[in-house]
Structure formats: C-alpha cells, structure tokens
Amino acid sequence: MNVDLVQMLRRNALCTGRARLTRRSFLACLLLLASSLYGTATAAAIDGADRAPRPAGTGARITAVRELDDRTLDLTVRSRAMEGSVPVRVILPKSWTSEGRRTYPVLYMLHGGDDDYTSWTRETDVEELAEDSDVVIVMPDGGKHGYYSDWYVGAPLWETFHTVELVRLMERTFRTNSSRAVVGLSMGGFGALNYASRHPRMFRYAASMSSYVDLNEPEVRDFIRLGSTVDGIDIKDVWGDPEQDDDNWQAHNPAARPGAFRGTRVHLSSGNGTPGPLDAAHETRVIAAGMLAERMLPASLRKFAESLREAGVTVSTDFYKPGTHSWPYWDRELHRIWPTVMKVLR
C-alpha cells in the first residue's frame, strides 16, 4: 500500500486522539498495523510466528520492533529474498513523529566482515552526529561474510534484500525518499561500491573506508579466499568459479565498472598500514592484523580513483598516515565526511 504510515495511524481508532504521536504510541501502532501494511498478524510481531503469506511488491515486512532510545529502533525484518529474518537498526530524525507528511533522505551504513548491524552504534558516535540531521539512518545486517551480493548458488540474496526489499520497506514505513547515500567499511565498503555500481544513480553518495575494490588483484583474491575458508565458506558459492564464471566476478567488481558510478559522488579512504596514536589501546595481535589488512589498499584505491575521474565521476580521497584497519580511524573518517554526506543528501 502506498499510504503514509502516519496517515494510517491517524485513521486507526486506537492510534488517534492525540495531535502528536509519542514514541511509545508509535511503536505500539507500528506493530498493531503491521498486518495492514505487510500481512503480518500482531501475534506474529510478538512471538515471531510467520502466519501470513508474504506481501506482493515489497518482499519484506517488519515482524518486531524494539525501542533502544528516543529515536533508535531495532527492527526484525522478515525477508523473502533471505528466506528468513534479518535485523536492522534505524535512527530516526527528531522531527519524524511530529512532521507526519514529510519524507526524508536516507543514509545506509554497511558493516564489515565478521561483524553485524550493531557495529556503527557500538564503535562510533553516529547517534550524536545525527542529532540535528534530518536524515533517516539505516544500518542493516549483512552477514558475517555475506559480501553484499546475491550468491551464485542461489542463497543468500543480500543484494536483493538491501537494494530492493529494504529500500522499499524504508520508503513505505519510514517515509524515506530517493535522496540516498551509502557508507561502508572493509567488506561494507566493498558493498557500498558494489551496490552503487550495480544500481547506477540509486545513491547520490557512496563512501568506502578501507575496502578492496578490484577483485582481479591476486592479493585481493587470496585475502578473500583465505578469510572465507577460515569461516567455512567456499568463495565459489558467492560469485562462482573465478575462471569459468569470470563474467559474474566482473559484474561484482567495482574497479571493472568505473562508468557505472556516473551520477554518484564517491569517497575512498584508507590508512597506510602503519600503526599510530589511535592504535595505542589495541593489543599487539590486533595491531598486526590491522597493519596487514590495510597495507595493500592505498595503491589499489588510488588507481581506482583515477579510473573514476577518467570516467567523469566526482571523487574525493583520504589516504592518511599512519593508519591501520581498525575502528578509531573509521570513526574519525566518519566525522570527516559527515558534513559532505549531509550536504549531498539535502
């Protein structure tokens, strides 16, 4: 249904009687009206039961909502593409409940490998950064090693979930509009670039922090193969055989598709692999891992940035020294790019 959620809340007898929805009444009504929006019974929102057919047009529905604070919600989203439920964290603007007819720009934030949807709020102060920003922030789970792709073997379908189901769900439920940005780090940085290239002009801005960008580089293939093997994943399941299914690898290779970024402003950043003051609190083994993961990135990112410029894409870069593959640097980078992200989304 293309009906604004707030309008529906106001029409519902149990959700009227106040000129302004409180956050508690919003949550109660969101669960109550899940059935009319997504074909999910209220009981399903409470106990997680899947009792209704999947809705046409969205492929996803909210089955549970948990309030973390005044503006931050954890959603459980039942996904057709994923054939299961995926957690998503959302930060709403202050004006969201009071301006019920307004639509909002949206920032998608993608986490790295071996992490989850809680990482951005756990490791950064993104909630404070967003305090006065009229932007909806969406932080979906992407799997420990999901590679932000629809897997070659048929499941999971992370790309379909993130770029189709979730986008539509955010538009219909949280009134997001077509002004979108995507920011990611490490595996999530690859995801941001992969999605931006495979869905031209879907995002106004795409930022990649400390991410590999060229799947053709032997070091990158070795890194991905080793990381996936350790976790019991065959990388062939993700994109197919590197030789026999090369066309699919290139279709998911940002470096092979510079022209696809036209219309999207791109930001690339990484450290040089040398530890610095921001690593002071880390254990030696953590620093060593961060050094190895970051050292191979700057040269590849510089080459990619140049190919983007040659293709007519607006690119900004931040190749900082020192810097390892770790959160203190990504938190700092988030602060550095935040004003630009907000400006682009206006």
52-100 pLDDT, tens digit each? 333 335 789 999 999 999 999 999 999 999 999 999 999 999 999 999 9
- Record the tokens describing residue 26, joined without a space: 């919003």
- Record the tokens describing residue 165, joined without a space: 């189901």
pLDDT in the model for residue 57: 52
Provide the β-strand partners of residue 320. 271
State the SS3 of 289-322: HHHHHHHCHHHHHHHHHHHHHHCCCCEEEEEECC
Query: What's the whole-model pTM score?
Result: 0.86
Which residues does 179 contact at the CB level (< 8 Å), separation at least 6?
105, 106, 204, 345, 346
pLDDT in the model for residue 228: 86
Residue 182 burial (10 A CB sphere; 0-12, 13-18, 19+): buried
Mean pLDDT (the chain) is 87
pLDDT in the model for residue 98: 94
pLDDT-wise least confident of 36-50, 69-83, 135-149: 36-50
* Beta carbons of 124 and 327 less than 8 angstroms apart: yes
Tell me the DSSP string of 206-227: EEEES----TTSHHHHHHHHHH
pLDDT in the model for residue 36: 35
Cα separation, 43 vs 31, whole angstroms: 9
pLDDT in the model for residue 295: 96
Q: Average pLDDT for residues 20-33, to the nearest whole number?
A: 46
**pLDDT tens digits, residue range 318-338?**
999 999 999 999 999 999 999
Q: Tell me: pLDDT of 18 over 60.
A: no
- Record the tokens describing residue 256, joined without a space: 């092979």
